[in-house]
Amino acid sequence: EKRIGILTSGGDCAGLNAVIRAAVCRADGLGWTVIGIKEGTSGLLSRPLRYEALTPDKMTTAVMRQGGTILGTTNKGDPFAFPMADGTLKDRSVEIIGGYHELGLDALIGVGGDGSHQILRRLAQQGGFNYVGIPKTIDNDVGLTEVSVGFDTAVAVATEALDRLQPTAASHARVMVLEVMGRDAGHIALAAGIAGGADVILIPEIPFSIDSVADKIREVRKTGRNFALVVVSEAVKTIDGTKVHKDYHGGEKRFGGIGDYVAFKIADTTGAETRVTVLGHVQRGSMPSWRDRLIASAFGAHAVDLIAEGKFDRLVAWSDRRVIDVPLQDAIAEYQDIKHDDALLKTARALGICLGD
């Protein structure tokens, strides 16, 4: 009989509770106990430790349907350089490792993005404990998995936003700019932009020129269409490499963000009337889509199976229509942003979508 811990780490997303439920269900089938650690590694850092036993009776299908994470999460503080109240950074890894051993765990499942897995892997190596990772992030940038938990729901939310913006754009003859999340990768923007019928999609992997965007808007107008939809990923850069949302804050003209800047430039260069919607955390907070629930369920159950087989330092992944697992260090090394030969970029170009280059 084993005692395993599970924690969620980094930004939340839809589907985390479905992962937790599946892990508990599978562990229960093996007669094991699952301990839910509160707020990522913070639960192991606090004294007293913060955790709860996740009994199967608590893991109803209602929990699976719920957004967010019942365990809480945090993205504050690398335990190897933890920001202290006095402004200094302290290595607190020993305290976290101590927390793991105090709980008498046989293994830990971490549900996180690439940054979290990197930290948890290092902790596991240093502390001599068994670790299995599950990829989650709306950004979908974890390597060696086709999809991470939370991405599908985030894309659905962004696509629905475009569906809702289109009629109001057409009614007012406006260019609607939708700013979506994606800290370093443009997967949400590209997927939602294609599915939601965008005319322009700007992603961080392709530096954009405002002239190219303006040309596209003029081209749309020439066809007699009075509106346009522009999707902007929060981390896009201009063609000369400027990170607009940072560099323009506090400059001559203050912009609310990159979407605001793009909208201003479109209006300035084409004379079009523009409006901006910043989708923000709305993309993270809803009931998980069926696909996120499905993938989350497969991931949670498979992580427990790996522990049963004594296979550690692995990342559960989705490939070729099924759940698999890959070496964790390889997944961390293969950061997955949009490569220049990405098939969806080709699709976007085939549809006449301007990518800003």
Answer for which of 116, 137, 297, 336 binds ligand F6P (CB under 6 A) is 137
Q: Which is nearer to ligand F6P, 26 or 187 (CB)?
A: 187
Cβ–Cβ under 8 Å, residues 316 and 302: yes
Answer for which of 46, 75, 226, 277 binds ligand F6P (CB under 6 A) is 75
Cβ–Cβ under 8 Å, residues 39 and 144: no
**Is 9 labelled a binding residue?**
no
Cβ–Cβ under 8 Å, residues 176 and 168: yes
Cβ–Cβ under 8 Å, residues 116 and 149: no
Element holding 331 (H helix, E strand): helix 328-333
Quick check: 288 binds ligand F6P (CB under 6 A)?
A: no
- Residue 89 phi/psi, 5° resolution? -110, 135
Quick check: 11 binds ligand F6P (CB under 6 A)?
A: yes
Q: Which is nearer to ligand F6P, 32 or 39 (CB)?
A: 39
- How many helices (H) and strands (E) would you count in the chain? 13, 13
Per-position x/- string for 77-116, each x denoting binding to ligand F6P as judged by CB under 6 A, each - no binding: ------------------------------------x---
**Is 212 labelled a binding residue?**
no
Quick check: 159 binds ligand F6P (CB under 6 A)?
A: no
Alpha carbon distance 23, 31 (integer Å): 12
Alpha carbon distance 270, 213 (integer Å): 10
Tokens at 143, concatenated? 């390597």
Least distance from ligand F6P to the Cβ atom of residue 192, Å: 13
Alpha carbon distance 126, 97 (integer Å): 8
Per-position x/- string for 318-337, each x denoting binding to ligand F6P as judged by CB under 6 A, each - no binding: --------------------
Quick check: 122 binds ligand F6P (CB under 6 A)?
A: no
Least distance from ligand F6P to the Cβ atom of residue 74, Å: 10
Alpha carbon distance 248, 271 (integer Å): 21
Interface positions, 16-45, toward ligand F6P (CB under 6 A):
none
Please enumerate, by residue number, every residue annotated as part of a binding site. 11, 76-77, 113-116, 137-139, 174, 181-183, 234, 275, 281-284
- Active-site residues, by number, are 139
Give the residues lining the site for ligand F6P (CB under 6 A). Answer: 11, 75, 113, 137-139, 181-183, 234, 284
